């Protein structure tokens, strides 16, 4: 069964299927890459919690930067956020993002937390 949450005509923020959680691309507010990455990851945390998962269950992440010169700055935030021993498969590339003010977008796929 496929479950879609926060669905509009264009997309769903969360899609769940067979124990896997797919999040739509998340962007954040702020002036700097650090601020936008922190806000973006806070949004990822909230969506994962709503979907029955968390950052320790992330399987894969794709990160888009508007400028690869911001790679180290984004990584400083990312590295502090990912729980030790739970680094997902990850890719990072440069792309023109949906709005000129955006510096980072993160797309996450995670496993649901096991029921206890």
Q: What is the three-class DSSP state of 113?
A: coil
**All structural domains of the chain with their residue ranges:** 2-111
Among the options 20, 82, 92, 97, which is catalytic?
Answer: 92
Class level of CATH domain 2-111: alpha beta
Closest alpha carbon to 47 in 29, 77, 27: 27
Please determine, for residue 116, whether its predicted confidence score (pLDDT) is greater than 70.
Answer: no
**Percent residues over pLDDT 90 in the chain:** 97
Q: What is the three-class DSSP state of 9?
A: coil
Residue 21 near residue 53 (C-beta atoms within 8 A): yes
| Catalytic site includes residue 92 | yes
> Encoding tokens for residue 63?
């990160």
Closest alpha carbon to 68 in 104, 34, 19, 101: 104
pLDDT digits (tens, 9 = 90+) for 50-64: 999 999 999 999 999
95 sits in the region (left: phi over 0; alpha: psi -120 to 50; else beta) called beta
pLDDT of residue 79: 98
- Which stretch of 51-55, 57-61, 74-78, 110-114 has the lowest confidence by average pLDDT? 110-114
Tokens 């962007």 locate to: 27
């Amino acid at each position: 069964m496929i479950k879609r949450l926060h669905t509009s005509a264009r997309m769903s923020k969360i899609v769940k299927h067979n124990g896997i959680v797919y999040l739509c691309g998340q962007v954040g507010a702020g002036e700097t890459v650090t601020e936008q990455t922190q806000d973006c990851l806070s949004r990822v945390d909230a969506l994962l919690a709503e979907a029955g998962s968390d950052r320790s269950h992330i399987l894969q992440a794709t990160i888009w930067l508007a400028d690869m010169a911001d790679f180290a700055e984004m990584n400083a935030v990312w590295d502090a956020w990912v729980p030790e021993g739970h680094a997902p498969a990850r890719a990072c590339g440069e792309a023109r993002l949906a709005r000129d003010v955006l510096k980072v977008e993160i797309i996450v796929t995670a496993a649901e937390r096991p029921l206890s």
